[in-house]
Amino acid sequence: MMNMKIRQLSLSALRNALLSLYALFALFPIFWMILITFKSDAEMYTTTFQFHPTLYNYKEVLLRTDYFKAFLDNIIVSSGAVLVSILVGVPAAYALARYKFKGKEDLAFTILSFRFAPEILVILPLFMIYQALGIYDTYFGLIWVYQLITMPLLIWVVRGYFEDINVEIEQAAQLDGYPWYTVFLKILLPLIKPGLVAAGLLAFIFAWNSFTFPLLLSGFRIETVTVASLKYIASDTVHYGQMAVAATVAALPEVILALLIQRHLVRGLSFGAVKG
């Protein structure tokens, strides 16, 4: 009896130790990055944890460079992309959830396959087309290409939320003589709202994190934080504190957004395949 108790205790100690080790691996780099943002260049090499905290790095990055403009550009492009995806994607998700029609599943899988198309393959020809159309390095061009990131996510996740709604609710409303668009706008949309908001925020995070598209289809007039932060690695005289500020400012919004949509995260991340 005593032996069993000891065995159980040591087992749970081992479990917690392993989890702590993983937690250290997952979280320490973030802590280290934030710590470095408050270090001056002079103390960067000489001290580890004890130093005189300063806001100098934040001032340099946010006021002296166009990093803040990149931050705003990122907000414009990402939220623009999500809005377009919601406007055209939600009706499409509804059609996929509620109508029977020829080629439905093929259409749904075609939309999903956009997500898995290698980004470089899309970009190479698109680079030429964008130059020819004059939409290279424009908000319009980026918002358009971001649809490959945001649209499949939104359509697949929102489709699942529509399917969760009992079809009898709709049929009852239709029997009462409401046209389909009233049923859609006044009855269905409010029901899926929490899921829709979560999917929209996750799509925003994905768009925010996008790197290959803004790197190769913009960069002069419009720059996103993912692209702008790279400059801090490139030069030989690296200011690590400023590099850390750039990374922190780029990472913070999405970490906060992710906390808001925790409950819907698994469902969104798996495009509706896993209803967590």
Within 167-186, the residues that bind another protein by CB under 8 A are 167, 170-171, 180
Q: How far apart are CA 158 and CA 156, in angstroms?
A: 6
- Minimum distance of another protein from residue 246's CB (angstroms): 7
Q: Indicate the SS3 state at residue 138.
A: coil
Segment near another protein (CB under 8 A); pick from 1-9, 26-34, 57-65, 187-195: 26-34
145 lines the binding site for another protein (CB under 8 A): yes
29 lines the binding site for another protein (CB under 8 A): yes
**Which amino acid belongs to residue 67?**
Y
DSSP conformation class of 187:
I
- Minimum distance of another protein from residue 218's CB (angstroms): 14
- Minimum distance of another protein from residue 200's CB (angstroms): 15
Q: How far apart are CA 20 and CA 25, in angstroms?
A: 9
Tokens 């899926």, located at residue = 192
For residue 18, the Cα-to-chain-centroid distance in whole angstroms is 29
- Minimum distance of another protein from residue 91's CB (angstroms): 5
Q: How far apart are CA 225 and CA 73, in angstroms?
A: 8
Within 56-115, the residues that bind another protein by CB under 8 A are 84, 87-89, 91-92, 94-101, 104, 107, 111, 113-114
27 lines the binding site for another protein (CB under 8 A): yes
Answer for which of 2, 4, 5, 48 binds another protein (CB under 8 A) is 48
- Minimum distance of another protein from residue 88's CB (angstroms): 4
Q: Indicate the SS3 state at residue 136.
A: coil
- Minimum distance of another protein from residue 49's CB (angstroms): 9
From residue 110 to residue 129, the character string flagging contacts with another protein as x (rule: CB under 8 A) and all else as - is: -x-xx-xxxxxxx-xxx-xx
- Minimum distance of another protein from residue 59's CB (angstroms): 19
187 lines the binding site for another protein (CB under 8 A): no
From residue 201 to residue 230, the character string flagging contacts with another protein as x (rule: CB under 8 A) and all else as - is: ----x--xxxxx--xx--------xx--xx
What kind and span of H or E run contains 242?
helix 240-260
**Sign of CA pseudo-dihedral 140, 142, 145, 150:** negative
Q: Indicate the SS3 state at residue 28.
A: helix
Contact 214, 64 (CB under 8 A): no
Contact 108, 174 (CB under 8 A): no
Which of 149, 162, 265, 167 lies closest to 213 in space, CA to CA?
Answer: 149
Size of the site for another protein (CB under 8 A): 98
Q: How far apart are CA 149 and CA 81, in angstroms?
A: 9
From residue 247 to residue 276, the character string flagging contacts with another protein as x (rule: CB under 8 A) and all else as - is: x--xx--xx-xxx--x--xx--xx-xxxxx
